[in-house]
């Protein structure tokens, strides 16, 4: 199943040292997760926070992908089940 994860800063320290190397390392980890398919899409909010789309077959897989984000402790996190719009609309059309 597909999930939209929305992170908004909560004011806690996030553990990145703020150095260029630390930020680039995190960017590399996001890029690797995108390439491997661990996450489907990732976006940063200019004002702070982020949103990403993950696929997970189990609660454990979803929890692992969400909680192992190095910024998790410094974010308030929302998780929403989502579907591709065309699949959702075709499903709805079968029930009309």
Task: Please report the domains of the chain, with CATH numbers, ordered by start residue.
Answer: 2-93 (3.30.70.1060)
Task: Find the largest Cα–Cα distance for the chain.
Answer: 55
d(CA 36, CA 80): 22
- Name the least confident of 15-29, 43-57, 79-93: 15-29
CB of 10 closer than 8 Å to CB of 75: yes
- Name the least confident of 15-29, 44-58, 61-75: 15-29
* Residue 19 pLDDT level (bands cut at 50, 70, 90): confident
> pLDDT at position 92, please?
93
The number of beta carbons lying within 10 Å of the beta carbon of residue 67 is: 10
């Amino acid at each position: 199943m597909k999930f939209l994860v929305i992170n908004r800063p909560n004011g806690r320290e996030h553990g990145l040292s703020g150095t260029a190397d630390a930020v680039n390392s995190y960017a590399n980890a996001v890029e690797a997760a995108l390439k491997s398919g661990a996450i489907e899409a990732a976006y940063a909010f200019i004002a702070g926070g982020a949103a990403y789309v993950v696929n997970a077959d189990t609660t454990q897989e979803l929890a692992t992908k969400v909680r192992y984000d190095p910024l998790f402790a410094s974010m308030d996190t929302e998780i929403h089940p989502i579907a591709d719009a065309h699949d959702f609309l075709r499903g709805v059309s079968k029930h009309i």
